[in-house]
Structure 1
Amino acid sequence: MADERSFEEVVEFTRDLIRIDTTNRGGGDGDERAAAEYAAVKLAEAGLEPVVLEKAPGRSNVVARLAGADPDAPALLVHGHLDVVPAEAADWSVDPFSGEIDADGMLWGRGAIDMKSMDAMMLAAVRSWAREGVRPRRSIVFAFLADEEAEADYGSRFLADEHAELFEGCTEGISEMGGFTFHSEGMRIYPIAAGERGTAWLELTARGRAGHGSKRNPENAVSRLAAAVARIGAHEWPLRVTPVVEAAVRELAELHGVAPDYEDLSGLGEAAQLVESTLRNSANPTVLEAGYKINVIPEHARAEVDGRVVPGGEAEFEATLDELCGPDVQWRYAHRDASLIAPVDSPTFRAMRAAIEKFDPEGHPVPYCMSGGTDAKPFTPLGITGYGFSPLALPPGFGYGKLAHGVDERVPVEGLRFGLRVLDDFLLSA
């Protein structure tokens, strides 16, 4: 189990990692090498043999395997990403890469929640096991990854495609976006992710007839595209309840003392936020590009749409996009990842529940489906079932979802130590 030194190390490691600027601006613009080398040193000091792998210079990943006590048990993948989204220092109360700890015990900085705190917990846990001479039952593959904040081409996708042998024997994995405190109606709820909507980023293109802006033109590419984008933005997607969302609504309704109602989530209080974006497919227009001069009708126009697809909703999504775009606008996938769904009655899920309940007996762990996606998706073709479990204790009014990628990202030091206790207990008992 986690020793006293590990509770200091988890804070130290989080601060150190925050102070290493691993900003990922997309399009290949990122550098995780210093953070990867830091993680590799800490793993080696615990007796592991980390491997550092890069698809491109600076885009570094670290993978290390710890043999479990039961060689016949399936291995577990535990992964966290090292990159972070950009932070504009002028918008923050503190330097976003300072790792400052204030008088209230808050540790500030980009990545404090998403997800250098989890990276630090992984390092602190394995080092405490080395000091205490304990081993988990299952073999564990620890992976510290690049490029999650873009399309994972330099991180999990690269490793799964080109270094699948490193994950041999892994049947399940855990990573971000689960096990944190969510407050609703005076209750502490701990959502554990057992699904992700699929990613369906789209590019729309319209062709028309170029011409003078003063002339009538029924083949105006801008008008055609704008009409399609308006239809997509206004579309009401039908209800599609997956098994994970059904379990989430059922358990949340029971906690709030109401009957499950998928059309009206108001009875779930603040906890409605955990399920409202996962009951349907969605498609949100995000980018429009057309034209080059006010009096010239262009021949081409394009748009981008952020689509998300519930498990099993792919066929409906594609048919609906065909209809909404119509004959004058074409669409294609710019980036696509399948949806994920994991069992909520598995021994691993039960072990996650039990670890939270052990350290917060009045807490309520519940399953949920993520509206977005994580590094779990590229590992799915390797036969690895992904869960979201990066535990943190957070106070009321402290929005996990608002601070991840937000201004003034921070984490309570004691909440970080709670997370280490929970993660350590789960990994040793799973």
Structure 2
Amino acid sequence: MSKWENNEEIKIFQEYLRIPTVHPDVDYEPCIEFLKKQAESLGLPVKVFCPGGPKKPILVMTWIGTQPELPSVVLNSHTDVVPVFPENWTHPPFGAEIDAEGKIYARGAQDMKCVGMQYLAAIRALKKDGVTLKRTIHVVYVPDEEIGGKLGMEKFIPTTDFKFLNVGFSLDEGIAGPTEEYPVFYAERSIWHVHFKISGTTGHGSLLHKNTTGQKLRYIIDKFMDMRAVEEKKLENNPHFTIGDVTTINLTMINGGVQDNVVPPLIDVGFDIRIALDLDHKVLDAKFEQWIKEAGGGIEIEFTQKEALVEATKIDASNPYWIAFKSVIDELGLKIKTQVFPGGTDSRYIRKAGVPAIGFSPMNHTPVLLHDNDEFIKADIYLNGIEIYKKLIPRIANA
């Protein structure tokens, strides 16, 4: 038995990890029952909301502050995890086993069941020490973040139930840091998933037709790949940049054709674009229209996702929550790197509602294994994260 297995907080974390809230067709009910049990043990009132439907529960635990009229603080996490390929794991993906080095293996160990339980562990310690807070804390557990949050946080934000929480600031997930640095996220790129439905001359494959779908497809792909190359150079030439500072472009789908010797009348090509904060969306829309004209026309654009620009959270003196956050970081002597999140989290919906949000998972010296095989977090890193939240939560709540 490892030295960590008798630790009560580790045991609670393991219990949470063993609940397989895994896509597709997640059964959230066992998870909700577990969280209700945790709320009861902490003496925190709990409510469950289902704006996305009865199978998409959002659970909110509330620690009422001494000045509840002040804007509250949300500690957000998502309960769902991505699928696993058990044959590629050296430990059972939902076993939460600890090896001799203290590595806790499980899907969700990093993304992000660790944070969801670290919040509660910190609150447990603070309440035990008799700490009181000015602002009310809402610990929020949402479903479906891993599939875009459409029936989770996005549905919750416009409701009167969310407005009643009176949220002034939110903490949410970040990513592990493989070095001493902790990544801290203040913004996200806008996600565009765009399809070009290309029409062209059809006919026998033995001839040289004009204005074929293949010719137009090549033109559109070349334009995207040229733009991609420019962004690659930006990233390579600026040592301070991370992937979130540039626009990423990837061709993800091509569909079309009926037979080897028939020139197809229609080809559909799809791209995943994550737009950097400094690229004007109107300029990009205009580029697309220009490319279509230059390619010869006969092309329709369809967006399966087209997010508007969401304002970044300010990380300067104008944001008292950031000042509180940074004061703890400095006090503990932690090294951080502020950056734009490379993917998408529920913070984009929170920021869109005008609420500042910071993404932070207190994991350093940890390889980035979210969505990967053998996802793990070391027990010592997990427990140290609790200590960080024990400082962060009161400082932010009393800002």
Residue 96 (str. 1) matches residue 93 (str. 2): yes
1:209-224 aligned at under 5 Å gives the runs 209-224=201-216
Give secondary structure in 2 for the equivalent of 1:71: coil
Question: How far off its partner does 1:263 sit?
Answer: 6.8
Give secondary structure in 1 for the equivalent of 2:157: helix
Question: How far off its partner does 1:292 sit?
Answer: 3.1
Cα contact 2:245–2:340 (8 A) shared by 1? no
| 1:71 counterpart (53, 56, 68) | 68
* Aligned position for 1:206: 198
AA at the equivalent of 1:428: P
Residue 317 (str. 1) matches residue 278 (str. 2): no
Query: How well do the aligned residues superpose, as a CA RMSD in angstroms?
Result: 2.6
- Structure 2 CA distance for aligned equivalents of residues 211 and 262 of structure 1: 44
Change (3 A) 1:292 1:43: farther
Give secondary structure in 2 for the equivalent of 1:149: helix
Question: How far off its partner does 1:181 sit?
Answer: 3.9
Give secondary structure in 1 for the equivalent of 2:254: strand
> Deviations 1:82-115 (Å, cap 9, x if unpaired)?
1111111111111111111111000001111010
- Structure 2 CA distance for aligned equivalents of residues 60 and 165 of structure 1: 14
- Structure 1 CA distance for aligned equivalents of residues 78 and 191 of structure 2: 18
Give secondary structure in 2 for the equivalent of 1:161: coil
Cα contact 2:190–2:275 (8 A) shared by 1? yes
Residue 140 (str. 1) matches residue 106 (str. 2): no
Change (3 A) 1:235 1:104: same
| 1:286 counterpart (245, 252, 255) | 252
Cα contact 2:126–2:390 (8 A) shared by 1? no
| 2:367 counterpart (399, 408, 429) | 399
Give secondary structure in 2 for the equivalent of 1:287: strand
- Structure 2 CA distance for aligned equivalents of residues 167 and 399 of structure 1: 39
* Aligned position for 1:269: none
Change (3 A) 1:125 1:343: same
* Aligned position for 2:227: 235
> Deviations 1:260-285 (Å, cap 9, x if unpaired)?
x987334xxxxx5xx33233323211
Show structure 2 runs of 5+ residues with no match: none
Give secondary structure in 1 for the equivalent of 2:156: helix
| 2:377 counterpart (386, 391, 411) | 411
* Aligned position for 1:19: 18
Question: How far off its partner does 1:340 sit?
Answer: 4.0
- Structure 2 CA distance for aligned equivalents of residues 111 and 62 of structure 1: 18
Question: How far off its partner does 1:79 sit?
Answer: 0.5
Change (3 A) 1:425 1:56: same
Residue 352 (str. 1) matches residue 332 (str. 2): no
> Deviations 1:386-423 (Å, cap 9, x if unpaired)?
1112212x33xx322xx111111100101001111111
AA at the equivalent of 1:133: G
Question: How far off its partner does 1:334 sit?
Answer: 1.0
Cα contact 1:39–1:123 (8 A) shared by 2? no
Give secondary structure in 2 for the equivalent of 1:341: coil
* Aligned position for 1:246: none
Residue 382 (str. 1) matches residue 379 (str. 2): no
- Structure 2 CA distance for aligned equivalents of residues 293 and 19 of structure 1: 49
AA at the equivalent of 1:306: D
Cα contact 2:104–2:379 (8 A) shared by 1? yes
Change (3 A) 1:262 1:153: closer
Give secondary structure in 1 for the equivalent of 2:158: helix
- Structure 1 CA distance for aligned equivalents of residues 358 and 261 of structure 2: 53
1:9-48 aligned at under 5 Å gives the runs 9-25=8-24, 29-48=25-44
AA at the equivalent of 1:89: P
| 1:80 counterpart (63, 77, 85) | 77
Q: How many pairs are equivalent? A: 382
Cα contact 1:76–1:170 (8 A) shared by 2? yes
- Structure 2 CA distance for aligned equivalents of residues 167 and 232 of structure 1: 45
- Structure 2 CA distance for aligned equivalents of residues 156 and 387 of structure 1: 16
- Structure 2 CA distance for aligned equivalents of residues 121 and 218 of structure 1: 63
Change (3 A) 1:263 1:409: closer
Give secondary structure in 1 for the equivalent of 2:27: coil
The TM-score with structure 1 as length reference comes to 0.81
AA at the equivalent of 2:221: V
Change (3 A) 1:36 1:215: farther
Residue 50 (str. 1) matches residue 46 (str. 2): yes
Residue 329 (str. 1) matches residue 299 (str. 2): yes
Cα contact 2:104–2:378 (8 A) shared by 1? yes
Show structure 1 runs of 5+ residues with no match: 240-260, 267-271
- Structure 1 CA distance for aligned equivalents of residues 106 and 271 of structure 2: 30
- Structure 2 CA distance for aligned equivalents of residues 72 and 237 of structure 1: 51
AA at the equivalent of 1:46: L
Change (3 A) 1:24 1:340: farther
Segment drifting more, 31-40 vs 94-103: 31-40
- Structure 1 CA distance for aligned equivalents of residues 85 and 76 of structure 2: 27
Give secondary structure in 2 for the equivalent of 1:38: helix
- Structure 2 CA distance for aligned equivalents of residues 325 and 101 of structure 1: 55
* Aligned position for 2:121: 124
* Aligned position for 1:247: none
Change (3 A) 1:304 1:262: closer
> Deviations 1:304-333 (Å, cap 9, x if unpaired)?
211111225222322233334443433232
Question: How far off its partner does 1:67 sit?
Answer: 1.4
> Deviations 1:176-217 (Å, cap 9, x if unpaired)?
115x5442xxxx222211111111122221122343333433
AA at the equivalent of 1:69: T
